[in-house]
Structure 1
Amino acid sequence: MMNMPEKDPKGDDTSEARPPEKDSYAVDARYARGVQINSGPGGNSMVNNFFEQPSLDEDLRTLRLRDLEGAFRKFIECGRDRQVDLLSEYERAGEIANLICARKGPAQCAELLYGMAAERFMKRLGELTRDHRSAVMTQLAERLSKDGSGAAVRLREYAAANPGRAAQLLIGITRVDSSSARFRTHRAAQLLPGVEYVLGLKDEMAAALLRALLFRYAVDSASGERYPLPELTRDAPGLLERLVISDVHRTARLMAALGSAKLVAACIRRLRLASATRLLDGLAVVSQTGFEAVLRALPQPMAAVLLGRVSDSNAASVSGRPWTSGWPWIDAVLALMTYANAIADRLVSRAGLDASEIRNIQDIWRAACRTVKNSDYYRRQRNHLAGAAVVLFVGLVLALLLG
């Protein structure tokens, strides 16, 4: 008796389905994974098998079997995502990247590198020639400046992989060709991984990054070179405060590495009194001559206040003391006037007077008054008053005699 396939209660055949014979033109959809069937007129069908696309390993083997020119031609034939994968995995990807820069342009190379993981990204940058790397990093900085939320994540990953090159990208963002220099520096400050990242850089690179982030720039009309002005960007005071709080001694060394007393003085003018005092004490440890040069670059009333707040040993070592009027209230008013711009900027950014700013104003007033009280100027006040009284008395006597 012939064995019949079992049927379920509904009468459906539950036996295992078999694929069609080789010479059959029928296609069972249950065996059509990766297969597309296009029906044409007259019932004709065309089958496309997507499994015919080569895998990444197959493409890598193909590139390894060819010389550089052949590998480059094969690379160009691939899609964008596959090109990114090949640049990540291919042993001669650095040479391919240089050919892309030379023949397709740095923008094309930057687009492919931008999609890579941070470690491979930094490795490929290092394999570019110097000129190609400079051009590609300019393109990458422009992409980062325009990227949305993804740019901050990328910068953190880049900084972890190679801190120095990440700093170069941040500097590049401040130089992107756009209509607003204020936007460029603000964007770079937004993408900064943190003050600890800046403090951990080598001195030369950290100073270069701070110079780009802290100061406005001008262009020399003759040479076309950019140079920093002693004017701070909008994000500079907040960044400086965080640097001083995090590590004042390291920050002082980086400020000294700027090599300009005027630039350092511009930074101190925008800091609150407590932070400025700490930074000056740190500068005195790094360089006594630099410390005194910064004091001379500050407005005299401000320098007098700060000199009265620094440590006694640093104050005693200063040869020429700043000028004061000798009148506590006058000196306090003059000192507040030198801090007026910095205070006003902070008030505008915070949209009101907060407790910390009130304490800062009080500290400036008291420090200015105390600076005079702790000096020899009271004797000068007495002498001035005595001299004025004598002049008035003599004038009164002469007026009476001549009248």
Structure 2
Amino acid sequence: MPELLEEIPDLTGHRRRTLAVLSAGQVLSGISFGATVSLGAVLAATISGDDALSGLATAAITLGTATFSMPLAAMAGRRGRGPALASGMAVALIGVGLVIGAVAVRSFPMLLIGFALVGAGQSANLQARFAATDLATDASRGRDLSLVVWSTTLGAVLGPNLVGPGETLGQLVGMPDLTGPYLFTIVGQLAGTALYWFGLRPDPLLLAQRIAIRDAVTGTSVERADRPVAARYAMLAVVGAHTVMVSVMAMTPIHLLHHGATLTIVGLTISLHIAGMYALSPVFGLLADRWGRLRTIALGYTTLAASAAVIALGASDPRWVTVALILLGLGWSAATVSGAALLTEASAPSLRVRRQGRNDAAMSLLGAIGAIAAGGALGWFGFAGLALCTLPLIVAVVVLAPLGRR
């Protein structure tokens, strides 16, 4: 097989170029998704006429993310990360069009279908962080992954703050009420699709597979033992943090609006929450590499518990809700960055991409269930009660931490 023995490109340079492309794509995705998540619950409540159904917008997005995660992972395994990421962004663009159309014709089912397709873009966002690890070493895996996560900060913080200007622009061009911000989403999705399709060449995953086959042929490969128990715990840590985060975040806009907050305040709160999710991810990546994956996961879950406590004590004050949402984002970041790094290194190369897709599907599915349940919990127990409902899951993940060493 002489084609396997061809000269491999400079890995250091190509790794840096791959990280740059993935990071730029995450900026564009952040702009797109930030505007989407800010208005999702509001649009669902407005179109349905029932606040209890507001969580279905986030639920639809996360269900869509779960649905597309495994197919996009399978596509990545066959054709590479570039085509998979670009396809996810393209499907999400179709979803945005359906959301705008649904608002125009006041169709709640159509709105949910559109948000479900938007979930394909979120699935691509999640897969991008794993793409950063394709060419990484054990010493740099957490850092590389976290740098791509961090790059989402700019777009994610900017996106929700484009709600006001976007609505003004939308009114000028005759778009339905509350859909103007999706003009920025469309531009971001188009640019991200093109960037992933043309920018990830040679493809990092295909290159990593080529290196692995070459090393096996030449007898220079070092076999990595599979650690299925640790991999399952890593999935639990990531899925648990995401479920807690989505459940609380999905209901925050409705809660704030009921307490007299304006759309600008809602957008600012979500922006700060998303900043918490991404801005310090390089710090958590370095901690995961140097301090340990499990310790960083524990730090993340401690922060999630602190977020729930702040909400329980200050749910009626938008300022304390904002503080709690920042802590919620920080806890999510620490747990998911370190959990994703643990999942990658605990999985044999032949199982890695499949488990990554399974992880993304599980976190999205459980996030969707959490968002659906959060709507009812908000009505039954209030926002403070909703936050306290997340504590049993937080405690369970911390107690099961020794499994991550196996």
Taking structure 2 as the reference length, the TM-score comes to 0.20
More strand by share: 1
Q: Flag the structure with more relative contact order, 1 or 2, with Cα contacts below 8 A and sequence separation at least 6.
A: 2
Taking structure 1 as the reference length, the TM-score comes to 0.20
